[in-house]
Amino acid sequence: EVSLDQLRDRADRGQAIAAAASGVASLLRSEFESQRVAGVIAIGGSAGTTIGTAAMRALPIGLPKLMVSTLASGQVRPYVGDKDIMMLNSVVDIAGINRISRRVLGNAAHAMAGMVSHKVENPPDDRPLIAATMFGVTTPCVQHARQLLENAGYEVLVFHATGSGGRAMESLIEDGLIAGVLDITTTELADELVGGVLSAGPDRLLAAARHGVPQVVSVGATDMVNFGAADTVPGRFAGRKFYQHNDTVTLMRTTAEENSSIGREIAQKVATSRGPATILLPLQGVSAIDQLGQPFDDPIAREALFASIRQDRGNLDIMELDRHINAPEFAEAAARQLLSLLTKPN
């Protein structure tokens, strides 16, 4: 902690902004817990956005949060994090009222008023929550498993494994809201270990293990590392196998060596679980483009992934299916296994 006098004496703008962000977040959280906050709106440039969004990230999902910012049209992940913060581009600088800012700020005020006045209430639902991870290339698997789990009486929250999705899921597990995890798509670990743009950070896969939440984990989309447009791929990856998913998404095939590291990371993290856990391996491919006739089909790289998981499993249960990850039988096995773990006596 640092006092106001110390901040004044040091005259360090960066340190002052960090202290303000921390202080406002703490204050706003306290006010919310006292039921004195219905929504949060802030305006600012780089400093104001840092302070405003820090406060918003301290508040729960569902509370209206709106940041009018000069930075809203750029990379906003550091500001939004894993919360439901709306970013509105101010268009002009935050420097008085003019014909542009009047409209933008007016729209922002009306948007906040509308959200607060027309609060969305969740209908009563006491079904236990299951968190699942999905990518476009693992969608058939997750959708089929989801239907089976919902038929069994659970509500399934599906997270897009784009970094922010994985972090959001881990956060909800930490908050004690999740009864079970169907972590089909662990692709974020590939980005974290190899250097892609969709990493969820080093703590991915740890929350369920730490809190003993039953989990079934697979290796969905670990055949790929994600980048933006083709011209944004770092030069050190020249000569690698790429697949242009669309104009703004470039996928790079993971090598056998990288897959070995990814498998080791998955096995070692899941092996620390305090609750029941199973790793499920689809031997015929881990994504829609990792199968016979598809651009990322690579049996050697797949086997390196599976072999490292087997080697570092410890006492962990592993199920191997001679199926592709998107085969109905694989989804059914994943759902059945999670249901079994959820009903397993402690």
Residues 39 and 183 in one domain: no
DSSP designation for 332: H
How many structural domains does the chain have? 2
Rounded Cα gap, residues 16 and 273, in angstroms: 40
Q: Establish if 124 belongs to a structural domain.
A: no
Residues 285 and 313 in one domain: yes
Q: Establish if 320 belongs to a structural domain.
A: yes
pLDDT tens-place string over residues 171-210 = 999 989 999 999 999 999 999 999 999 999 999 999 999 9
CATH number for position 33? 3.40.50.12020
Give 314's pLDDT tier (boundaries 50, 70, 90).
confident
Residues 135 and 110 in one domain: no
pLDDT tens-place string over residues 124-133 = 778 999 999 9
Predicted model pTM: 0.83
pLDDT tens-place string over residues 143-161 = 999 999 999 999 999 999 9
Q: What is the pLDDT of residue 94?
A: 82
CATH number for position 267? 3.40.50.12030
Could you tell me the two tokens for 231?
A: 């011209």
Q: What residue type is 35 in one-letter code?
A: Q
Residues 201 and 316 in one domain: yes
Question: Cβ-count burial of 214 within 10 angstroms (0-12 exposed, 13-18 middle, 19+ buried)?
Answer: buried
User: Shortest CA distance to 180 belongs to which of 211, 148, 135?
Assistant: 211
Q: What is the pLDDT of residue 181?
A: 98
Give 240's pLDDT tier (boundaries 50, 70, 90).
very high
Residues 141 and 113 in one domain: no
Q: What is the pLDDT of residue 346?
A: 60
pLDDT tens-place string over residues 75-100 = 898 999 889 999 999 999 887 889 99
Q: Establish if 46 belongs to a structural domain.
A: yes
Residues 157 and 297 in one domain: yes
Domain finish residue from 64, 88, 117: 117
Rounded Cα gap, residues 301 and 323, in angstroms: 16
Range of 146's domain? 129-342
Q: Give yes or no for a contact between 224 and 253, defined as CB atoms under 8 angstroms apart.
A: yes
Residues 177 and 231 in one domain: yes
164 φ, ψ (degrees, to nearest 5): -65, -35
Residues 84 and 148 in one domain: no
Please name every residue paired with 66 in a beta bridge, in sequence order, or none if there are none: 41, 86
Q: What is the pLDDT of residue 82?
A: 86
Across 221-240, average pLDDT: 96
Residues 57 and 193 in one domain: no
Domain finish residue from 117, 139, 164: 117
pLDDT at 278 over 90: yes
| Residue showing tokens 């922002």 | 108
Q: Establish if 122 belongs to a structural domain.
A: no
Residues 197 and 111 in one domain: no
Residues 165 and 260 in one domain: yes
A 10 A CB-CB count for 39 gives 18
Domain finish residue from 93, 117, 141: 117
Across 215-239, average pLDDT: 96
Residues 165 and 264 in one domain: yes
Rounded Cα gap, residues 110 and 118, in angstroms: 12
Q: For all residues of the chain together, what is the average pLDDT?
A: 94
Q: Establish if 123 belongs to a structural domain.
A: no
